[in-house]
Amino acid sequence: MSLVFIRKLSKAEKREADLTLALTAEERTRSRHKFQTPEGQTVFLQLDRGTVLYDNDLLQSDSDTVLRIVAKPEPVLMVQAPTPLDLLRGAYHLGNRHVPLEITSTCLRLAPDSVLQNMLEQLGMDVTEEMHPFQPEAGAYGQQGHHHSHSH
């Protein structure tokens, strides 16, 4: 029997998960797709188009089963810099290329790319490949569930 997950629960809806599904960053952007859990359970996502899933998001099926999404470790480039300003410079150059990018206070993470790795190393960055859950920034527009108000 397959389960169809039709709704992303809000953070306020605290529920215990019946199943867990680990997905890569790219897979977490697929709002309509078939996946298989490690236990062999087939699950279909039929979420609103454009839904992006994040680590620990909960989905509800049409039969009230709850599925926890987990960010799956995947190959990433970890970028570290001698100073915070250097790290900002690296983020700026990657942003100019519209690269999906995870930004932390101490490093940047992006999908492996030898051209970008070379560019970052020429900028003085320390770039290493590792397996890590990849959680890129959602972007300034169309963030699902992230509403910011700016007063002027």
Domain boundaries, the chain: 3-71, 73-133
Question: CA 100 to CA 111: how far, in whole Å?
Answer: 8
Average pLDDT over residues 33-59: 92
Instruction: Tell me the H-state helices in 97-150.
Output: 114-122
The pLDDT of residue 50: 87
Task: Find all residues with CB under 8 Å of 55, minimum gap 6, and list them.
Answer: 69, 70, 71, 133, 135
Q: Do domains 3-71 and 73-133 have the same CATH topology?
A: no
Average pLDDT of every residue of the chain: 89
Sequence letter at residue 71: A
Which among 94, 50, 49, 74 is positioned nearest to 135, based on CA atoms? 74
Assign 149 a pLDDT band (cuts: 50, 70, 90): very low
Give the residue, 146 or 47, on which the prediction is more confident.
47
The pLDDT of residue 144: 40
Task: Find all residues with CB under 8 Å of 61, minimum gap 6, and list them.
Answer: 3, 4, 5, 6, 43, 67
Assign 37 a pLDDT band (cuts: 50, 70, 90): confident
Average pLDDT over residues 122-130: 97
- Is the domain 3-71 a CATH 2.40.30.10 member? no
In tens, the pLDDT along 55-112 reads 999 999 999 999 999 999 999 999 999 999 999 999 999 999 999 999 999 999 999 9
The pLDDT of residue 40: 86
Assign 150 a pLDDT band (cuts: 50, 70, 90): very low
Judge whether residue 145 has pLDDT over 90.
no
pTM, two decimals, is: 0.81
Q: Which CATH number fits domain 73-133: 2.60.40.1580, 3.30.70.980, 3.30.70.790, 3.90.420.10?
A: 3.30.70.790
